Structure 1
């Protein structure tokens, strides 16, 4: 359980670091914003599913601006923090039933969902950093080891 919680502390830290870099970046790259908003919209979809609520009407890819991203970072951090407040180690094996964006039904453990969300964000933050570097902007160090130091 501690590892999963640390992954989410890292996720929130990394999201805030990306948000800060994008906020300070005067040369907005819509592809970078789209990747970041995708991370945040996906987090929103998964927390909705973890609560047993239909997520089919929520966007996964949607054009966003920095203000929308900032609000999603804040909202998602609060949602996951609240979710972890009531979560026990025994709950991690519980299966969540949900439908993906194409309507196909799945059953996945809470632990696997939480792991997926954390890894999914890190994957796309890597893509964001590649785009930043291509635009001549210093990438954001979101390595876990940097977080724990």
Structure 2
């Protein structure tokens, strides 16, 4: 459980760092905003599933602005913190049934879902940093080891 807890502390830290950079950039960064909102909407979908609720009507890809992203960063952080606080080691092996955005049903363990969400966000934050670099913007250091230092 400690490893998963650290992964989520890192996830929240990294989301805040990306958000701060986006808020400081002048001009439109449409593709970066689209990738960042996707991370946050996907987190929301998985949080909803982990809560045993229907996620089928939630967006995964949606055009939105930085203010909505800022709200989602806070909402997701609060929801994930509550979820992890109430989770025991035995809960990690519990199977969660859910329907994906295409209507297909799946079952995965809480552990696998939490691992997926953390890795999914890190993958897309890497894409965001590649876009930043291509646009002449300094990439955001979101390395786990930097977080741990």
TM-score range, shorter chain: over 0.9
Residue in structure 2 matched with residue 124 of structure 1 by the alignment: 124
Runs in 1 of length 4+ with deviation above 3 angstroms?
Answer: none
Residue in structure 1 matched with residue 145 of structure 2 by the alignment: 145
Q: Secondary structure at the match of 2:139?
A: coil
Q: Secondary structure at the match of 2:141?
A: coil
1:29 Cα deviation after fit: 1.1
1:2 Cα deviation after fit: 0.2
Q: Following the alignment from structure 2 to structure 1, what is the Cα–Cα distance between the partners of residues 75 and 137?
A: 27
TM-score w.r.t. the length of structure 1 is 0.99
Q: Following the alignment from structure 2 to structure 1, what is the Cα–Cα distance between the partners of residues 35 and 50?
A: 23
Question: Any conservation in 2 of the 1:36–1:69 contact (CA below 8 Å)?
Answer: yes
Q: Following the alignment from structure 1 to structure 2, what is the Cα–Cα distance between the partners of residues 51 and 29?
A: 33
Gap runs ≥5 in structure 2: none
1:18 Cα deviation after fit: 0.1
Q: Secondary structure at the match of 1:33?
A: helix
Q: Following the alignment from structure 1 to structure 2, what is the Cα–Cα distance between the partners of residues 66 and 136?
A: 20
Q: Following the alignment from structure 1 to structure 2, what is the Cα–Cα distance between the partners of residues 27 and 14?
A: 22
- The answer to whether structure 1 residue 56 and structure 2 residue 60 are counterparts is no
Q: Secondary structure at the match of 2:41?
A: helix
Deviations 1:77-118 (A, max 9, x none): 000001011100000000000000001000000000000000
- The answer to whether structure 1 residue 33 and structure 2 residue 30 are counterparts is no
Residue in structure 2 matched with residue 65 of structure 1 by the alignment: 65
Question: Any conservation in 2 of the 1:22–1:28 contact (CA below 8 Å)?
Answer: no
Deviations 1:57-81 (A, max 9, x none): 0000000111010000000000000
Q: Following the alignment from structure 1 to structure 2, what is the Cα–Cα distance between the partners of residues 13 and 29?
A: 21
Any residues of structure 2 matched to 1:78-117 within 5 Å, and which?
78-117=78-117
How many residues matched?
149
Cα-Cα RMSD: 0.4
- The answer to whether structure 1 residue 74 and structure 2 residue 74 are counterparts is yes
Q: Following the alignment from structure 1 to structure 2, what is the Cα–Cα distance between the partners of residues 141 and 88?
A: 31
